[in-house]
Amino acid sequence: MSSHSKEELKVYVYIIGWKGIVLDIEKASKLFKMFIGKPLGVAKPNPNTIYNAPLVLSMYETLYLCEKGVAKPLIHGVEISCTDLEKYSERIMPQFRRKYMVFKQLREQGYVVRSGMKFGSDFTVYELGPGLEHAPYVVTVVSCNDSLRAVDIVGLGRIGHSVRKRSVLAIVDEKTGSVNYIVFKWVKI
27 included as an active-site residue: no
134 included as an active-site residue: yes
Q: CB under 8 Å to 111, separation ≥6 — which residues? A: 125, 126, 127
4 included as an active-site residue: no
Sign of CA dihedral 22, 46, 31, 66: positive
Q: How far, in Å, CA of 86 to CA of 158, rounded?
A: 33
Q: Is 85 helix (H, G, I), strand (E, B) or coil?
A: helix
List 165, 181, 185, 188, catalytic entry: 165
Sheet holding 78-79, edge to edge: 38-39, 55-58, 19-22, 11-16, 71-75, 78-79
Q: How far, in Å, CA of 173 to CA of 66, rounded?
A: 23
List 6, 87, 118, 134, catalytic entry: 134
List residues with catalytic annotation.
126, 134, 165
